[in-house]
């Protein structure tokens, strides 16, 4: 049975005071034996504080993006090695907001994933279709294009550090959640695509769902056979909502 993952993506939200209160509330309830891994992806600037606050606990953390380059004249960018210095174990890459608002291509995302895994980070690769693409019957084609760019850029050892987050763009921040059946269908297709590369990889890889996950719908989503937890935006900002989702995951393990 794969570990379930409940990961919060704060995007560009929150404050230092919010972070302190959130970590204190969440840490009080995390159970190392629950079979559920809790992760927080705050804005970059909060990572040093988070590394201190969460130092002795079971909460994992990471960044929402990083550079594909190791070092150099890349103003405004942050490298994988820098993230490691602040205790990050993982990094979200290729979020649909990065692709849509900052022009990240699948090739660039694939380079970022390789830089991340080479530095020893777990890369959480986001894939997902827009409503227009879904309605045109192109969901799998879009998701596979995003996925294949990464698979083709990594060897089998590097792939051990890949987590996938299926996030239909039409469900992000909209309150519209994919139904458990809709999500499961895409997760199953992603796992089958991974199996074409390696059965062991497909069996091991965590595939998270993201898109308006809340305490009230988490259990139905996470109980699907190919859904291994969630990447949570809006509902991760409040500790109580995040914990509601964590509890739903814990009840399934």
Q: How far apart are CA 223 and CA 210, in angstroms?
A: 14
- Give whichever of 139 and 155 is closer to ligand PEP, judged by the CB atom: 139
- Give whichever of 194 and 235 is closer to ligand PEP, judged by the CB atom: 235
Q: Closest-CB residue for ligand PEP? A: 233
- Give whichever of 153 and 212 is closer to ligand PEP, judged by the CB atom: 212
Question: Which residues form the interface with ligand PEP (CB under 6 A)?
Answer: 9, 167, 172-173, 210-213, 231-235
Which residue matches tokens 């294009």? 145
**Nearest distance from C-beta of residue 125 to ligand PEP, angstroms:** 12
CB 109 within 8 Å of CB 93: yes
Q: How far apart are CA 239 and CA 24, in angstroms?
A: 9
**Nearest distance from C-beta of residue 193 to ligand PEP, angstroms:** 21
E strand segments, the chain: 4-9, 36-41, 60-63, 90-93, 122-127, 162-166, 207-210, 229-232
**Nearest distance from C-beta of residue 66 to ligand PEP, angstroms:** 16
- Give whichever of 38 and 198 is closer to ligand PEP, judged by the CB atom: 38
Q: How far apart are CA 1 and CA 253, in angstroms?
A: 9
Which of 95, 97, 104, 187 does the annotation list as catalytic?
A: 95
CB 230 within 8 Å of CB 8: no
Secondary structure of the chain: what % helix, strand, coil (to 5)?
A: 50, 15, 35
Which of 68, 104, 129, 167 does the annotation list as catalytic?
A: 167
Looking at residue 171, the DSSP 8-state letter turns out to be G
**Nearest distance from C-beta of residue 233 to ligand PEP, angstroms:** 2
- Give whichever of 8 and 115 is closer to ligand PEP, judged by the CB atom: 8
Tokens linked to 141: 């084609």
**Nearest distance from C-beta of residue 95 to ligand PEP, angstroms:** 6
* Residue 167 annotated as catalytic: yes
* Residue 85 annotated as catalytic: no
CB 61 within 8 Å of CB 30: no
CB 35 within 8 Å of CB 3: yes
Contacts of 188 (CB under 8 A, 6+ apart): 225, 226
Q: Which residues are catalytic?
A: 95, 167
């Amino acid at each position: 049975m794969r570990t379930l993952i409940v990961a919060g993506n704060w995007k560009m939200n929150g404050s230092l005071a919010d972070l302190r209160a959130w970590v204190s509330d969440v840490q009080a309830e995390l159970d190392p034996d629950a079979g559920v891994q809790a992760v927080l992806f705050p804005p970059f600037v909060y990572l040093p504080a988070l590394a201190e606050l969460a130092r002795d606990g079971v909460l994992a953390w990471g960044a929402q993006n990083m550079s594909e380059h190791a070092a150099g004249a890349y103003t405004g960018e942050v490298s994988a090695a820098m993230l490691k210095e602040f205790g990050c174990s993982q990094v979200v890459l290729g979020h649909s907001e990065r692709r849509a608002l900052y022009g990240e291509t699948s090739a660039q995302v694939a380079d970022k994933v390789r830089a991340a895994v080479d530095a020893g980070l777990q890369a959480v690769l986001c894939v997902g279709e827009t409503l227009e693409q879904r309605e045109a019957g192109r969901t799998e084609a879009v998701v596979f294009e995003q996925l294949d760019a990464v698979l083709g850029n990594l060897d089998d050892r590097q792939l051990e550090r890949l987590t996938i987050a299926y996030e239909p763009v039409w469900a992000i921040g909209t309150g519209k959640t994919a139904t458990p059946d809709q999500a499961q269908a895409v997760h199953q297709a992603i796992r089958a695509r991974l199996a074409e590369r390696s059965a062991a990889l497909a069996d091991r890889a965590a595939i998270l769902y993201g898109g308006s996950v809340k305490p009230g719908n988490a259990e139905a989503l996470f109980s699907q056979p190919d859904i291994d937890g969630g990447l949570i935006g809006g509902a991760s900002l409040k500790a109580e909502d995040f914990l509601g989702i964590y509890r739903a995951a814990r009840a399934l393990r």
